[in-house]
Amino acid sequence: MLSDKMAQAINNQINRELWSAYLYLSMSMDAEAEGLRGIANWFYVQFREEQDHARIFMNYLNAQGCRVTLQPIEPVQQHWESLQAAFADTLKHEQKVTAFIHELAKQAEAEHDYATQNMLRWFIDEQVEEEQSVGDILNTLRHMAGLGQGLYLLDKDLATRTYSVPSPLATAE
């Protein structure tokens, strides 16, 4: 059984995950309004992932015999001046989420709550992926703006290169 303090902290995280979903839905709609369907899709997938994250926490509380208490979701920003601004905000937001997950992990460790520590490992790994993914997008945007699309296209083309064993070595094995 979870402590009341841990159950409340997880309920707070559920609210943060749902707020995150709402933020990404707003970003998706902003990109859609600008005619950027691919970017709108990326943010929409983020929206769905955040809903799933909230559901994972909800399922965990239910499995632990605790009550999920949904809280109001605060308003989110509706428009971003540029793609760089939207993705920079995304990275800052994901870094905040990482800090919240780490706080939950610290609390679980302090309470010797091994089940919660185990559940949170997935979220810790997920946050590393989230930050890297957004960082990669920001890096691509930086290259596109700073050096033109040629470098971006070259980078994409070079990424398709695969290794082939030289024929003299292929027969030697």
Residue 89 has pLDDT above 90, yes or no: yes
Q: Where do the domains of the chain lie, and which CATH numbers do they carry?
A: 4-158 (1.20.1260.10)
What does the H/E/C string look like for 71-135? CCCCCCCCCCCCHHHHHHHHHHHHHHHHHHHHHHHHHHHHCCCHHHHHHHHHHHHHHHHHHHHHH
Summarize pLDDT for 128-164 with one digit per residue, the tens: 999 999 998 898 888 777 665 655 665 565 566 677 6
Q: In the prediction, which pLDDT does 60 show?
A: 97
164 in helix, strand or coil? coil
> Between 154 and 170, whose confidence is greater?
170
> Between 164 and 123, whose confidence is greater?
123
Q: What is the pTM of this model?
A: 0.85
HSE, side-chain direction, 13 A CA sphere, residue 108: 20
Summarize pLDDT for 60-78 with one digit per residue, the tens: 999 999 999 999 999 999 9
Q: In the prediction, which pLDDT does 37 show?
A: 87
Q: In the prediction, which pLDDT does 142 show?
A: 82
pLDDT bucket at 110, cuts 50 / 70 / 90: very high
Summarize pLDDT for 38-64 with one digit per residue, the tens: 889 999 999 999 999 999 999 999 999
Closest among 11, 22, 87, 8 to 50, alpha carbons compared = 22
